[in-house]
Amino acid sequence: MTNKQTPFETALENRDSDGTKLFSPSTARNRDPIRKTFLETMPHTGKILEVGAGTGEHAVHIASALPDVTWHTGDPDPSARASIMAWLRDAALPNLSGPHAIDVSTEEWGIEADGPFDGLLSINMIHIAPFAAAQGLFAGAERILAPAGKLFLYGPFSKDGIHISPSNETFDRSLKSRNPHWGIRDIDADLLPLAEKNGLSLERIVSMPANNLSLILRKN
């Protein structure tokens, strides 16, 4: 691993013996705090859609604690979908579904007919994708969420144009050096205008370990 790799790129180097199931070291570190915050802030019944689900580890970890939720997964990357499928197969939980080939920057995700959804989850995705992914995610939230449904975002974010730690600033520079369209998104300049445009209100910001945040938004 190099320090410029994204968590998903690191996971591509950590495979099970048949090469399908991917393991992300960062997920091993952050999955418990994310699940705890998710359980405190998101619905415990109904349908949840996780986009950019990556290896599939978060899906199995969170859905195992929510037996009354049907958990749908999606990712545009075929190796991510193969890994998600392997994690779902091995977990054998009755409430896990997918993976679907969902690119959130597209206008139709192909899963609208399965909705409306009570929650939409995106972990560590919108800073490692062009801004069109954030735009598409918020537009999709308005399209697929039920009234009062919630959008949960986890990752590094800046506030009022200011990084919340020097390490986030370094990470932002490294993201932009790899792809000028990537980068840490700003809550005030980038995300709140998208929320307003798409009928969502910011409900809570939760501080997470390692200078990350969880943002919980609610459909108006």
Ligand X SMILES: C[S@@+](CC[C@H](N)C(=O)[O-])C[C@H]1O[C@@H](n2cnc3c(N)ncnc32)[C@H](O)[C@@H]1O
Question: From the CB of 32, what's the least distance to ligand X, in Å?
Answer: 13
Residues 109-168 that bind ligand X (CB under 6 A): 123-125, 128-129, 133
Residues 1-20 that bind ligand X (CB under 6 A): 6-8
The correct pick among 43, 54, 99, 140 for binding ligand X (CB under 6 A) is 54
Long-range contacts of 202-206 (CB under 8 A, 24+ apart): 203/41, 203/150, 204/41, 206/37, 206/41
The correct pick among 52, 98, 140, 156 for binding ligand X (CB under 6 A) is 52
* CB-nearer residue toward ligand X: 8 or 171: 8
CA 202 to chain centre: 17
Question: From the CB of 160, what's the least distance to ligand X, in Å?
Answer: 25
Q: CA 19 to CA 31: how far, in whole Å?
A: 22
Q: CA 26 to CA 10: how far, in whole Å?
A: 9
| CA 129 vs CA 65, 147, 203, 220: distances in Å | 29, 28, 24, 26
* Stretch of residues binding ligand X (CB under 6 A), selected from 46-54, 86-94, 183-191, 202-210: 46-54
Distance between first and last Cα of the chain:
42
* Stretch of residues binding ligand X (CB under 6 A), selected from 36-44, 51-59, 191-199, 201-209: 51-59
Residue pair 177/169 in contact (Cβ under 8 Å)? The answer is no
Q: At a CB cut-off of 8 Å and minimum separation 6, what does 32 contact?
A: none
**Alpha-carbon radius of gyration of the chain:** 16
Count residues binding ligand X (CB under 6 A).
Answer: 25
Site string for ligand X, 81-110 (x = CB under 6 A): ---------------------xxxx-----
* CB-nearer residue toward ligand X: 80 or 195: 80
* CB-nearer residue toward ligand X: 51 or 69: 51
Residues in the site for ligand X, rule: CB under 6 A?
6-8, 24, 27, 51-55, 58, 75-77, 80, 102-105, 123-125, 128-129, 133
